[in-house]
């Protein structure tokens, strides 16, 4: 049997990379065959120290990745997920500086041991910053410190507009009670599960093949948009289960493009992409597919005259969602062009472009409702179809509620931007 490769993992900020950083990485390398390094994000450093690194996270990751012997670099976004990172990268041992001695032993129990190495004396990034007489580096860090402080406030209030690898997966537009709060919590847990499950796949998938971009968040978004055609055709020609499945598959791809965006932001492959356009495209594609499929359903229904109440209920539900989606699409379009082209006034925040929990949950209920509606064609009032039509209508009225919440959030963000 061949020798098993031993993986070592370590974490650090590596701001103003110096000899102390080099020594601890070299000593970590000596403990195994493969070294994985987690570089703390700008946001994480601000949260734990209330200090901003002088060098941004993308450049710090690039510096560490360039070291001979470093096999893989990733962005560390939480101090409490050390065990998760160790499992994700198959670590056999974790290495930390001895100023953290004993801190991670309980957290890593049953995962891997932690070795605490002594730090190099009389050298640190803080000391280097202090010794730089020109002071320009500290001025630049102060500017980025204010930006991160604003971003931290945005995360707390759900107003963050642009996308970055350091952002949480979803934020809330507001507080909810009862069943609505429970639904949001359940959906956020599901969204995080999809994120964790799909991240390894997105990490190894090549972004480009022969110079062409074949796997990016926007490619996934365009691809799921094209599903509107086979969904409508499946409903038209009676392949109702296929239509129902494709609606749910589209909903899953809506989550996947978010995973792709976050992973490729982490590893730097999406550098140069227009994040604002990606968020705008994602939101508008959802609305396009939903409206096309719902309109196809309405056209394909054989509306009987003996059950006017059911017909009115379904049509009223559809009309409400058409109106809400059109309104949200107009608001999102206006916000995108303001963020993209209008100068930002001092002290003003940009309108929110990122999705919030309420918006994503709205899309989930829309997908469930359409999936159930597809199964009750051509006559939603028939005895066998009534349960699907009733359940689909309930889902779509939940979607109406969360659409209103999402729209209110966007209007509040727009008001704060003026």
Tens digit of each residue's pLDDT (9 = 90 or more) over 252-299: 999 898 889 888 887 778 877 887 788 888 888 999 999 999 999 999
DSSP for 294-336 reads HHHHHHH----TT-HHHHHHHHHHHHHHHHHHHHHHHHHHHHH
Whole-number Å distance between alpha carbons of 384 and 376: 8
Whole-number Å distance between alpha carbons of 116 and 99: 8
The two structure tokens encoding residue 315: 């049509």
pLDDT tens digits for range 291-301: 999 999 999 98
Q: Is the pLDDT of residue 126 over 80?
A: no
Q: Is the pLDDT of residue 163 over 50?
A: no
Q: Any alpha helices (H) in 8-135, and if so which ranges?
A: 19-29, 42-49, 57-65, 82-88, 125-131
In this structure, the chain runs to a length of 418
What is the CB-side half-sphere exposure of residue 188 using CA atoms within 13 A?
16
Whole-number Å distance between alpha carbons of 236 and 139: 63
Q: What is the pTM of this model?
A: 0.60
Contact 359, 418 (CB under 8 A): no
Whole-number Å distance between alpha carbons of 375 and 243: 8
Angle (CA) 14-88-66 rounded to 5° is 35
Whole-number Å distance between alpha carbons of 151 and 156: 9
Average pLDDT over residues 167-174: 57
Judged by average pLDDT, the poorest of 297-301, 370-374, 380-384 is: 380-384
Q: Is the pLDDT of residue 177 over 80?
A: no
- Predicted pLDDT at 80: 85
Report CA-CA distances (Å) from 322 to 256, 289, 308, 329. 25, 12, 21, 10
Q: Determine whether 134 is exposed, middle or buried from the number of CB atoms within 10 Å of its CB (0-12, 13-18, 19+).
A: exposed
DSSP 8-state class, residue 175: -
Contact 16, 113 (CB under 8 A): no
pLDDT tens digits for range 307-361: 788 888 889 999 999 999 999 999 888 888 887 776 555 445 555 555 678 888 8
Report CA-CA distances (Å) from 238 to 175, 244, 348, 376. 42, 11, 53, 11
- In words, the CATH class of domain 7-129 is alpha beta
Fold (CATH) for 174-416: 1.20.120
With H, G, I as helix, E, B as strand and everything else as coil, classify residue 96: strand
Q: Is the pLDDT of residue 413 over 80?
A: no
Domain ranges within the chain, ordered by starting residue = 7-129, 174-416
Higher pLDDT, 160 or 194: 194
Task: Name which of 236, 217, 250, 242 is nearest 354 in CA terms.
Answer: 217
- Predicted pLDDT at 418: 59
């Amino acid at each position: 049997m061949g020798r098993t490769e031993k993986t070592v993992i370590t974490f650090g900020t590596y701001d103003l990379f110096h000899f102390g950083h080099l020594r601890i990485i070299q000593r970590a390398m000596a403990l195994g065959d493969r070294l994985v390094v987690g570089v703390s994000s700008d946001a994480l450093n601000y949260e734990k120290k209330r200090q901003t690194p002088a060098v941004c996270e993308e450049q710090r990751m690039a510096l560490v990745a360039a070291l001979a012997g470093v096999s893989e670099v990733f962005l560390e976004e939480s101090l409490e997920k050390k065990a998760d990172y160790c499992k994700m990268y198959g670590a056999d041992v974790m290495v930390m500086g001895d100023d953290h001695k004993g801190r991670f032993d309980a957290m890593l129990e049953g995962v891997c041991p932690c070795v605490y190495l002594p730090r190099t004396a009389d050298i640190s990034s803080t000391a280097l910053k202090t010794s730089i007489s020109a002071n320009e580096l500290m001025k630049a860090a102060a500017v980025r410190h204010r930006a991160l402080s604003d971003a931290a406030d945005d995360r707390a209030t759900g107003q963050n507009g642009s996308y970055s690898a350091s952002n949480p997966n979803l934020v809330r537009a507001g507080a909810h009670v009862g069943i609505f709060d429970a639904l949001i919590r359940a959906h956020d847990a599901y969204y995080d599960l999809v994120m964790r499950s799909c991240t390894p796949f997105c990490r190894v998938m090549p972004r480009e093949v022969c110079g062409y971009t074949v796997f990016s968040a926007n490619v996934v978004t365009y691809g799921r948009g094209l599903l509107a055609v086979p969904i409508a055709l499946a409903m038209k020609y009676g392949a109702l289960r296929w239509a129902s499945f494709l609606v749910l598959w589209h909903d899953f791809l809506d989550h996947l493009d978010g995973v792709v965006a976050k992973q490729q932001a982490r590893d730097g492959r999406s550098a140069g992409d227009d994040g604002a356009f990606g968020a705008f495209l994602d939101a508008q594609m959802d609305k396009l597919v939903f409206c096309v499929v719902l309109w196809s359903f309405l056209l394909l229904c054989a509306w009987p005259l003996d059950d006017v109440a059911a017909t009115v209920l379904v049509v009223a539900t559809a009309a409400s969602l058409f109106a809400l989606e059109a309104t949200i699409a107009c608001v999102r379009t206006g916000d995108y062009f303001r963020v993209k082209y209008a100068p930002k006034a001092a002290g003003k925040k940009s309108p929110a472009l990122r999705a919030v929990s309420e918006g994503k949950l709205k899309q989930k209920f829309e997908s469930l409702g359409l999936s159930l509606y597809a199964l009750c064609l051509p006559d939603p009032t028939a005895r066998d179809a009534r349960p699907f039509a009733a359940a689909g209508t309930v889902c779509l009225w939940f979607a109406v509620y969360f659409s209103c919440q999402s729209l209110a959030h966007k209007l509040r963000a727009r008001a704060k931007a003026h």
